[in-house]
A and B are shown apart, each in its own frame.
Chain A
């Protein structure tokens, strides 16, 4: 047991180290942008005096390491500074939107993970049957269409008929039921996009094990095919499945920009896009750091889960 705790602690330490490196990269990348932030903000017409004043106000005259340290310590306490575009605290801008993004991601995950697992298990069970072929073909078509295309098709089909709203107007006061209803279309779009990957990995991981001697043994014990897949193959296929689910969850948090734009969903992706077009570097940095943390965190959880589902790692000789 203690080995597992030690493993988890090591992984967390590694994750923190990794995030630290990512924060350096994020900070450095914005340093590399051409020109000076103050000039960029004020435009070509600004007088040298106003530029100098803004530089002083933004603290741009300090050396880079000092500014990095100030930024990092601020970020750690939840203070990402103020937006360069509208002077509002970034933490406030991000707060509600982060909640929205996480809600949408969990919503899509709650639909896609059970569907993907069920379809993956069934298509492994009925390998090469019509069901398997249809499920695979369907999943592959869903993944092959660009997200915005899927989104517009759904809008055309389900929103034009008035069943679901095509735009998501939610505020912090919207209650849960309305939220679920209004967010259905973006969640469905994301589900269609991520299900295929998880389903095919589940199918492949299970089929890969079906030739194992212990599966033959299970068949020779007279067990039913479903029991063989669920009890004998699936537990041994969990590690790859968990990892691909984590990867897709991370995508649901960080990669949903297009879907958010199509449905005008007030999430982090939209904020990031707006910030980029406004050259609001401080917001871009903050959102990038949050995305990185989501990636690292989810992969960390996946690592830990794959370890504790593997008896060979949990119970040493």
Chain B
């Protein structure tokens, strides 16, 4: 069954500006979308998927320009159309759902006012009709309290709910096409499922065509009829979803699968005195307890993965260990002796033993310092290295993280790629020669292939120096790859902990079960089966 073509893009070329030079970021992409069809657009960051998605609305971000090709939407040439004509289509016939709903809703207006804006401005319906319609769509998107949720401001609504409200808003004019730009990437696994299911259902209900942009193949497999893989602005291959999953043709596509296969060898159970031991810690922000009596150990040469959704207290546990947040009761032991609860009470030697690597390497590195200083400072401060000895140490550290000192030592963070910046974060932590490194979501902001590189590097360094890692993550694929022991947290409590093999073998604690079953699998029927299964289980 072939339906009418809705969108036809041919030979699309887009340039992006960096400084004074324009470089091509989309190099001749073709795309055909039929009415009611969902096309998955996947690739790593920099592949040009968002740029292509926006071009389907005849839109180029500031600093980008469409330089070649045709974009034909239902007989309208979007490149030749006037800006007024394009504006008439946007929001009405082609709608957009952004990656971060929290940032893309205007903080100054209530959700329902933002919902009603497009229908009223485009003259589709009156404000009252739009407001009634909003409640109906909020209900279809399974938002709680659909009659009243629209009267809230964006900051009063959770991330997963905002993402659903944004999908409802995109539907407000009943468009023919919706561009979903990484709509679930910023969400927890359990929330991701709900949003994914809601998006899939609503698109089917209204027979809306969609372009679903993501870097996660397993996610797109649940929603898309066809999948197109992009790499550096060019198409790698395109196929029906099942065909693509069963038999990817290109090496690059296969490599997207392979990433999740990295795994460390199993270690014998831990023994001896742990490097760091968290004992019955309760901690609070103000009067609200965010950690309730949590205990776990981290041994030398081992990785403890702390898993849980946002708000479960994972990062707070790290703050307690580092002394940033003194606990209200309980203690943190370092090699059997209690550490002073607050950072200020700790000696420089105690501080040196625990280092951190952060999620956003971009914001964790001082953009004005060269790598020499960024990495050199902890070595200077904790170990008192100076002059030639310091320089040698910095060079050794750069070698360790597989960056050539001759090339990189005098660079600024802005001159590095995302993965390289994260490597600098690792080198800076290593420079202090710590016993424990806390890795807070260190791979979440990175592409799969870059992630794999970072995980391998961390493993190698661990073997070499017998480091202990506390690995905070919400990504169970990462846990499977790197962890020795797992601590599962929910609402400030430890719900389950033990060696990895045990954690991944049933029976699980109910919450662990929920987390594990929420990780998307490379099977187009996975979501359907899972939802059926959960419905049956009640």
Contact = CB atoms under 8 A, between A and B. Distances in A.
Interface string B48-80: 000000100101011000000000000000000
A220 B57 CA distance: 8
A236 B108 CA distance: 6
B90 to A, nearest CB: 4
B124 to A, nearest CB: 11
Interface string A290-317: 0000000000000000000011100111
A217 B59 contact: no
B96 A214 contact: no
B92 A222 contact: yes
A232 interface: yes
Contact of B62 (A211, A222, A223): A211
Could you say which of B104, B106, B155, B156 has the most chain A C-beta atoms within 10 Å of its C-beta? B106
Interface in A246-298: none
Contacts of A235: 106, 108-109
B26 interface: no
Interface string B80-116: 0000001111111001101010011111110000000
Interface in A195-251: 211-214, 216-224, 227, 231-232, 235-236
Contact of A312 (B62, B86, B155): B155
B112 to A, nearest CB: 13
B155 A311 contact: yes
Contacts of B106: 214, 217-218, 232, 235-236
Contact of A213 (B89, B103, B156): B103
B208 to A, nearest CB: 16
Interface in B372-416: none
A221 B104 contact: no
Nearest to A317: B156
B107 A311 contact: yes
B529 interface: no
Given A220-B57, A222-B91, A214 B105 contact: yes
Nearest to B121: A223
B480 to A, nearest CB: 33
A212 B89 CA distance: 22
B59 A311 contact: no
A317 B121 CA distance: 30
A266 to B, nearest CB: 44
B104 A311 contact: no
A236 B104 contact: no
Contacts, number: 80
B89 A222 contact: yes
B108 A216 contact: no
B526 interface: no
A231 B91 CA distance: 16
Contacts of A312: 107, 153, 155
A222 B90 contact: yes
Contacts of A315: 152-153, 155-156
B122 interface: yes
A223 B117 contact: yes
Contacts of A223: 87, 91, 117-118, 121
Contacts of B92: 222
A37 to B, nearest CB: 52
Given A311-B108, A317-B156, A216 B90 contact: no
A217 B108 contact: no
Contacts of B90: 219-222
Contacts of B121: 221-224, 227
A290 B66 CA distance: 60
B161 to A, nearest CB: 12
A211 to B, nearest CB: 7
A221 B89 CA distance: 9
Given A227-B121, A311-B107, A220 B96 contact: yes
A222 B109 contact: no
A166 B104 CA distance: 54
A212 B103 contact: yes
A82 B152 CA distance: 58
A213 B108 contact: no
A221 B108 contact: no
B106 to A, nearest CB: 4
B98 A216 contact: yes
Nearest to B110: A311
B105 A222 contact: no
Nearest to A236: B108
B118 A221 contact: yes
Contacts of B117: 221, 223, 231
A128 to B, nearest CB: 12
Contacts of B57: 220
B233 to A, nearest CB: 21
Given A216-B61, A312-B107, A222 B156 contact: no
Given A211-B62, A212-B103, A213-B103, A220 B108 contact: no
Given A227-B121, A312-B155, A220 B91 contact: yes
Given A220-B57, A315-B153, A214 B118 contact: no
Contacts of B109: 231, 235, 311
Contact of A214 (B62, B86, B89, B103): B103
Contact of B59 (A212, A220, A227): A220
A163 to B, nearest CB: 44
A173 B126 CA distance: 54
Contacts of B96: 217, 220-221
Contact of A219 (B59, B88, B103, B108): B59
Nearest to A238: B108
A298 to B, nearest CB: 24
A211 B54 CA distance: 16
Could you say which of A213, A217, A232 has the most chain B C-beta atoms within 10 Å of its C-beta? A217
Contact of B104 (A214, A222, A231): A214
B78 to A, nearest CB: 13
Nearest to B118: A221
Nearest to A316: B156
A222 B155 CA distance: 24
Contacts of A310: 108
16 contacts: A211-B62, A212-B103, A217-B96, A217-B106, A220-B57, A220-B91, A221-B121, A222-B88, A222-B91, A222-B92, A232-B108, A236-B108, A310-B108, A311-B107, A311-B153, A315-B156
Which 8 residue pairs across A and B have the least CB separation, nearest first? A222-B90, A221-B91, A235-B108, A222-B91, A213-B103, A220-B96, A214-B106, A217-B104
Interface of B: 54, 57, 59, 61-62, 86-92, 95-96, 98, 100, 103-109, 117-118, 121-122, 152-153, 155-156
Given A221-B95, A223-B87, A312-B155, 14 more contacts: A214-B104, A217-B98, A217-B104, A220-B54, A221-B90, A221-B91, A222-B90, A222-B92, A223-B91, A223-B121, A235-B108, A311-B107, A311-B109, A317-B156
